[in-house]
Structure 1
Amino acid sequence: MDEANYKALPTETDGAPDRNPYAALADLAPAAAFVRDVTGRYVWANHAYAHLYGTTRDAVIGRHLADLDEPADVARFLTLDQEVMTGGRPVRHTLTYQRSDGCSGQAAGYRFPVLWGAARCVAGIYVDVTDYSQVLDQRHRAEADLRTLRDHSGLACVRLTRDGRVSEAGIAVAEVLRVRLSDLIGLPADTLLAETSERATLHRAWDDLITGRRRSARVSAVLVDAEGWQRRARIRLSAVCDTAPDMSKVSRVSGIWAVVTHLGLRDQAQPSLTAAQVRILALLAAGGSNADVAEELHLSRQTVDYHLSRLRDLLGAATRPALVARAYVLGILSAQDWPPRSATAARPSSLV
């Protein structure tokens, strides 16, 4: 092996720390560093390395690996040392080791061949990544739980990017829209919505969420599936914010989760109704007679009769009970409120 591959490290005999800044730097560096000879005996270690074992550097230097590690770890570490010394080049490793508290730890770093004085040795410098690995594992488990919940809860939900494209989607929403899940990813959300009056309200709510003026919003929309059929939906929008490292700074909105909380039945075409016609349906659903509707809306009986005739044609319903039932089925009236009101009403107490 070419001895030129070995790097000479400054030793404590090379001079006092004030005359040897490299030794002082290595000794006080937060990364754990060591030098061992061919037998596995420590010829140098810094404070951070000793801390991993719950001891001091003076208690480590001069001792053998077997004095600090379990037998299985000793054999593994000596094998790694020999590979480095034989190969004559740095090798990156991620290692597990026994911590001073008895728990298993993880460290990532390099070990490389060095000359310590005239002796060939192996040096290593590692960073303890135990806490990072645990947090990463917890995050992966949380993400797996979220995917399971998203895909098997039956909720129709999508995650949208800031520019309104689908970045994640649950199985349920793909079934509602009659598309393959893979085809849904990347689509602009607007292509999934019918051209209705609710779009303007939805866009205003979206702008508020993206700019951070609101954290969540409830909106109504009409979804259009791949076959052209429509379903009226009530949707909860929630802003997803990046974690701000500096708590004094406002975190940036990275996307929006959209969850369908109520879904009307599938219909080939949603009728376009006027505000007066929706109010008439709400009054009928509350049990009002034609005379009650005329009085409430300040309309003549003939005008009410005309609207009812138009509604029968638009909704395909021959009777008053059928009109009311059809209005609920199509999602025109909210199924969660009493007295009856429009599903797109801005205020729960409003009839429209």
Structure 2
Amino acid sequence: MNEVDLKALLEPLSVSRWEADGVLGVIDDGDAAFGDRHTTHRLLRGVAIGMADRPDDDLFATFADLAPAAAFVRDAAGRHLWANHAYAHLYGRTRDTVIGRHLADVDEAGDIARFLALDQEVLTRGRPVRHTLTYRRGDGLPGRAAGYRFPVRWGAARCVAGIYVDVTDHAQALDRRQRAEADLRTLRDHSGLLCVRLTPDGRVSEAGTAVADVLRIRLSDLMGLPADTLIARTPERSALHRIWDDLISGRRRSARACAVLVDRDGWRRRVRIHLSAVCGTTPGVSGVWAVGTHLGLRHQARPDLTATQVRILTLLAAGHSNADIAGTLRLSRQTLDYHLSRLRGLLDAATRPALVARAYVLGILSAQAWPPRSSTAPNPASPV
């Protein structure tokens, strides 16, 4: 193999190659060569040391024989005129058992007609063809390779050359990833869980139908919305912001938090959120998956109540009579009746039991405390 043959073989494939003079000056390079000449010279010095004792006539042949990409040259009838070690390795053979052999001696019977037809297409069209092929490896398992076939002059004959990279492992990894993504989409759309993927700037990029149902919004309208517009301004929101900053900066990979969702009609639902950072092929976090569980009851936004009104509700929930409440809070009966009337209007509850029930449903009173107290009380001993 001479220089012209080698360049014809490498030209269609984006591989890193250089041609250097005696003082390691770069004369020519391939499209994928390093742009940094300093790096190029360092690599060339290593190559020059390794091949210093080889005759110049053998350098191109040695380069092609030992290249990691699988390469071959066949005549129009399908006989291998040349092949390198990587090509023979694809089939679990040595190159001596490939060169001079016909396709029928190397490939599976079902592939021979297909490969010959592709060779004829290359010769007829007279230009390179990008191609992905499946083949039977030496261990009997299916393999996959990607590369180019193109016409070349080999001596006086028009032949077909090919250069391929084995992508079996990559293809299998890609298949596994596609299956995992399909499973994730199934989980997102059909599990009933509240699944949302957020971009690093906090916007919705993917969401399941369950999320759209809970928020009472069309799925298409949900895409691109800032997540902050879907969360009520509660004390949990500030803690959620701090967790988000940790996830996006890479300080944490996962976290749990609570939040209150706000639907399109202004109603609210408390939810527990499980957050997981997604790291892509590029450095940094490419997104965050948020999965909601323990969804609370849908309720209207909590009305703004005075401390006295909250204290009245805690005493009502404890079972005290109007006279007991007025005496405990040192209010006149008329003032207590005014507060109860206001509370019935604010909470949309007509009776004393309904007032207590609404206070718990809206989260005004803590469901985990007895005696009854406000859900925002600073300590267990404080009723409000």
Q: Assess if the C-alpha contact under 8 Å between 2:302 and 2:363 holds in 1.
A: no
Q: Which residue of 1 aligns with 2:86?
A: 48
Distance 1:101 1:312, change over 3 A: same
Residue in structure 2 matching 1:271, options 303, 307, 323: 303
Q: Assess if the C-alpha contact under 8 Å between 1:233 and 1:260 holds in 2.
A: no
Q: Which residue of 2 aligns with 1:256?
A: 288
Cα displacement (A) at 1:17? 6.3
Q: Which residue of 1 aligns with 2:247?
A: 209
TM-score normalized by structure 2?
A: 0.72
Alignment map for 1:80-159 (pairs within 5 Å)? 80-159=118-197
**Secondary structure of 2:298's aligned partner:** coil
**Secondary structure of 2:130's aligned partner:** strand
Cα displacement (A) at 1:32? 0.7
Cα displacement (A) at 1:122? 0.7
Residue in structure 1 matching 2:346, options 314, 329, 333: 314
Distance 1:162 1:316 in 2: 41
Moved more, 166-175 or 215-224: 215-224
Q: Which residue of 1 aligns with 2:5?
A: 9
**Secondary structure of 1:257's aligned partner:** strand
TM-score normalized by structure 1?
A: 0.78
CA deviations on 1:202-237 (whole Å, 9 max, x unpaired) are 323322332234431312224131xx3311322314
CA deviations on 1:11-62 (whole Å, 9 max, x unpaired) are 9xxxx86424332221111111111112111111111111111111111111
The residue identity in structure 2 corresponding to 1:9 is D
CA deviations on 1:97-144 (whole Å, 9 max, x unpaired) are 111122221111001111222222111000111111111111111111
Q: Which has the larger radius of gyration?
A: 2
Q: Assess if the C-alpha contact under 8 Å between 1:231 and 1:330 holds in 2.
A: no
Distance 1:267 1:51, change over 3 A: same
Runs of 5+ consecutive residues of structure 2 not aligned to the other structure: 8-53
Distance 2:144 2:377 in 1: 56
**Secondary structure of 1:115's aligned partner:** strand
Q: Which residue of 2 aligns with 1:231?
A: 268
Q: Assess if the C-alpha contact under 8 Å between 1:46 and 1:57 holds in 2.
A: yes
**Secondary structure of 1:40's aligned partner:** coil
**Secondary structure of 1:9's aligned partner:** helix
Cα displacement (A) at 1:146? 0.9
Higher RCO, Cα 8 Å, sep 6+: 1
Q: Which residue of 1 aligns with 2:329?
A: 301
Q: Assess if the C-alpha contact under 8 Å between 1:18 and 1:24 holds in 2.
A: no
Cα displacement (A) at 1:186? 0.5
Distance 1:95 1:325, change over 3 A: same
Distance 2:266 2:105 in 1: 74
Q: Assess if the C-alpha contact under 8 Å between 2:278 and 2:289 holds in 1.
A: no
Distance 1:302 1:346, change over 3 A: closer
Distance 1:42 1:223 in 2: 70
Distance 1:33 1:324, change over 3 A: farther
CA deviations on 1:139-191 (whole Å, 9 max, x unpaired) are 11111111111111112221111111111111011112222111110111222
The residue identity in structure 2 corresponding to 1:139 is R
**Secondary structure of 1:270's aligned partner:** coil
Distance 1:74 1:201, change over 3 A: same
**Secondary structure of 1:135's aligned partner:** helix
Distance 1:33 1:160 in 2: 45
| Total equivalences in the alignment | 328
Q: Tell me the percent identity.
A: 66
Q: Which residue of 1 aligns with 2:257?
A: 218
Q: Assess if the C-alpha contact under 8 Å between 2:6 and 2:60 holds in 1.
A: yes
Q: Which residue of 2 aligns with 1:4?
A: none
Residue in structure 2 matching 1:33, options 66, 71, 75: 71
**Secondary structure of 2:294's aligned partner:** strand
**Secondary structure of 1:179's aligned partner:** coil
Cα displacement (A) at 1:288? 7.3
